[in-house]
Structure formats: structure tokens, C-alpha cells
């Protein structure tokens, strides 16, 4: 009996001794991750793994470090292992949902966010899971479902700029333009340094054919980031509509120099070239837009322009 107790006490001491260095290593790795030294952090996490390969916290934190070095497959593995170890914890589902969304597994991402919400024990994960699930629904073009999720996310933080901007985006898709504009202006009042609402307001005013107001908001966005390619492209289109063809061409050319795979920018530049009676360049850009799958994303506008203007 005494011998058995002695063996058990030795095992307990060994377990405690093993836990202490793992805890110390995890703190060291977390500190490196916080400083965005992800490669160094991963080395330390892996040392901890050699001591204790069944540590839930290790898989969550190492997964985030793998995200930091853009190794999404290993991050996915770590979050899946964390779920296996603690299936009743929301964290593994929450982080794995983000990876799935990044890898374009939209349905699976929505499912993991739902599982995270069913298990969430704090408002931060609830807010983020509603927001992330809304992003997934928006990717599926379920705009009403996305609106409902973003609205529920805003319950936890009504002044979160990203949520307000996303609500405005889906309101636009639901043809509730005036409400979208109200949300965007509210976001700017909260934080005038965030580029998203300015870009979206410019887009909304372009749709309303209020092009000079659109240009004003695109200008404000470009004061925050002068090289944001989508904003440059959108300002170029607004300039086209007020017959500033040289300004339009300058903006779109600059946009394409930064983001050369934007099919919509090629369509916009083709429209400018057509207005300048340069069909050769216009048709080259229209064909480039087709090559970059414009039709798949935006519909048949480019095909109609080719039919009308190109042999």
C-alpha cells in the first residue's frame, strides 16, 4: 500500500513538474506572437508540444501563430485538434470558422460559427461569431440573413465600425440605400480615420448618380490611403460620369498598376476608351475583363459592350 502511494505521489510530482515548463513556454510563445514574431513563437510552441501534446491552449495559440505565417492548413489542423480535446468549448469552432471562410469553405464556416454561438460563454465570441457568420452569409448572397447576424453582433457593441460598415453593405444589397447611408455617416462620426465608410458612401452616391458627392467621399478615402486600388477605380468611374475623361483614365490606370487583376477596372477603362473613340484599346480591355472572369462575378455587361463595339 505504501509503495503504491509512493509511486502515485512520484507520478503527481512529475506531472506538476511537466506542467510548469509547458506553462512557461506557452507564456514565452504568446509574448512572441503578440510581437508578431510568429516564426520564433512557433518554435517555442513546438517545444511545448513535445512535453504535452494534449494541451488545449497550445493548439489554440499555435493555430493563431500559424495564421500569422499564413499557413492556414496547419492552423486548421490545430483548431480541429483543440475541438477534439474540448468539444464543448466555443474557441476552437470560432477560430476554425475564420480559417474555413478564408479558404472559401463558406457553408462549413457558417456551421462552425453556429456551433461557436451555441457554446459561447462570453460576449466577445458571441459578437465575433455573429459577425463572421454574417460575412459567410454575405459571401453566399444571403443578404437578409447577413443583415440579421450583423444586427445581432451590433447588440454587443453598437459603436463597432466594422459592423456598422457591414450592415450598410448588406442594406445596399437589399435596396435600402437611405438606411445604408445613415449607417455609414454614423460610422464616420464615431471614427473618421476608418476608410471603409468613405468608400461605401462614394459607391452609394455613384449609384444615386450624385457623382460629385461620390468624388468628395472617394477623395476623403484616398487621404487615408492614397494607393487603395478599388477606391481609385471607383473615383475614376465617377469622374467618367461627369465627363472628366482624363481624370478618369488617370485614376483607373493607377488602380490597375496596383491591382492588375481587377476585371471591373478593365471594364471601366474600356468605357473611357470608347468615349475617347479608341475602340482598339477598349476592345483589348473588354477581352481582358472576360479573361479575368468579369461575367462570372458581375454579369453580362462586358459581353454586350463587345457585341456592340468589337468585331
Residue-wise pLDDT tens digits, 161-200: 999 999 999 999 999 999 999 999 999 999 999 998 999 9
pLDDT band at 298 (very low <50, low <70, confident <90, very high): confident
Instruction: Dump pLDDT digits (tens) for 29-46.
Output: 999 999 999 999 999 999
Instruction: Dump pLDDT digits (tens) for 7-20.
Output: 444 444 444 444 56
Q: What is the pLDDT of residue 233?
A: 97
Q: What is the pLDDT of residue 14?
A: 44
Q: What is the pLDDT of residue 10?
A: 46
Q: Is the pLDDT of residue 262 over 80?
A: yes
Cell 468605357 identifies what position?
Answer: 271
Q: What is the pLDDT of residue 18?
A: 47
Instruction: Dump pLDDT digits (tens) for 226-247.
Output: 999 999 999 999 999 999 999 9
Residues of the chain with pLDDT > 90, as a percent, come to: 89
Q: Helices then strands (H, E): number in the chain?
A: 18, 0
- CA dihedral for 73, 75, 78, 82, sign (positive or negative): negative
Instruction: Dump pLDDT digits (tens) for 64-112.
Output: 999 999 999 999 999 999 999 999 999 999 999 999 999 999 999 999 9
Helix (H, G, I), strand (E, B) or coil at 228: coil
CA gap 149, 130 in Å, rounded: 5
Q: What is the pLDDT of residue 287?
A: 96
Q: What is the pLDDT of residue 1?
A: 54
62 with 49: CB under 8 angstroms?
yes
Q: What is the pLDDT of residue 20?
A: 63
Of 24, 65, 70, 66, the C-alpha closest to 47 is 24
CA gap 59, 271 in Å, rounded: 52
- Least reliable range by pLDDT among 54-63, 274-283, 290-299: 290-299
Q: What is the pLDDT of residue 50?
A: 93
Calculate mean pLDDT across residues 130-143.
95
Amino acid at each position: 500500500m505504501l509503495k503504491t502511494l509512493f509511486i502515485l505521489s512520484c507520478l503527481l510530482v512529475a506531472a506538476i513538474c511537466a506542467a510548469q515548463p509547458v506553462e512557461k513556454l506557452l507564456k514565452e510563445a504568446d509574448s512572441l506572437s503578440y510581437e508578431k514574431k510568429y516564426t520564433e513563437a512557433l518554435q517555442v510552441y513546438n517545444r511545448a508540444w513535445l512535453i504535452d501534446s494534449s494541451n488545449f491552449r497550445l493548439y489554440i495559440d499555435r493555430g493563431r501563430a500559424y495564421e500569422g505565417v499564413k499557413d492556414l492548413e496547419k492552423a486548421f489542423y490545430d483548431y480541429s485538434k483543440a475541438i477534439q480535446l474540448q468539444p464543448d468549448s466555443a474557441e476552437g469552432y470560432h477560430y476554425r470558422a475564420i480559417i474555413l471562410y478564408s479558404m472559401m469553405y463558406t457553408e462549413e464556416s457558417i456551421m462552425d460559427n453556429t456551433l461557436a454561438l451555441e457554446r459561447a460563454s462570453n460576449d466577445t465570441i458571441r459578437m465575433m461569431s455573429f459577425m463572421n457568420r454574417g460575412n459567410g452569409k454575405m459571401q453566399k448572397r444571403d443578404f437578409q440573413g447577413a443583415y440579421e447576424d450583423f444586427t445581432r453582433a451590433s447588440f454587443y457593441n453598437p459603436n463597432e465600425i466594422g459592423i456598422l460598415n457591414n450592415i450598410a453593405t448588406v442594406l445596399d444589397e437589399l435596396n435600402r440605400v437611405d438606411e445604408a447611408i445613415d449607417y455609414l455617416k454614423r460610422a464616420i462620426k464615431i471614427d473618421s480615420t476608418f476608410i471603409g465608410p468613405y468608400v461605401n458612401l462614394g459607391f452609394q452616391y455613384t449609384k444615386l448618380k450624385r457623382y460629385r458627392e461620390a468624388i468628395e467621399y472617394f477623395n476623403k478615402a484616398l487621404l487615408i490611403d492614397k494607393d487603395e486600388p478599388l477606391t481609385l477605380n471607383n473615383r475614376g468611374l465617377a469622374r467618367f460620369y461627369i465627363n472628366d475623361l482624363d481624370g478618369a483614365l488617370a485614376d483607373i490606370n493607377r488602380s490597375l498598376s496596383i491591382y492588375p487583376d481587377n476585371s471591373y477596372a478593365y471594364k471601366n477603362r474600356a468605357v473611357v476608351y470608347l468615349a475617347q473613340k479608341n475602340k482598339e484599346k477598349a476592345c483589348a480591355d473588354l477581352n481582358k475583363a472576360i479573361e479575368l472572369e468579369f461575367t462570372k462575378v458581375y454579369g453580362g455587361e462586358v459581353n454586350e459592350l463587345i457585341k456592340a463595339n468589337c468585331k
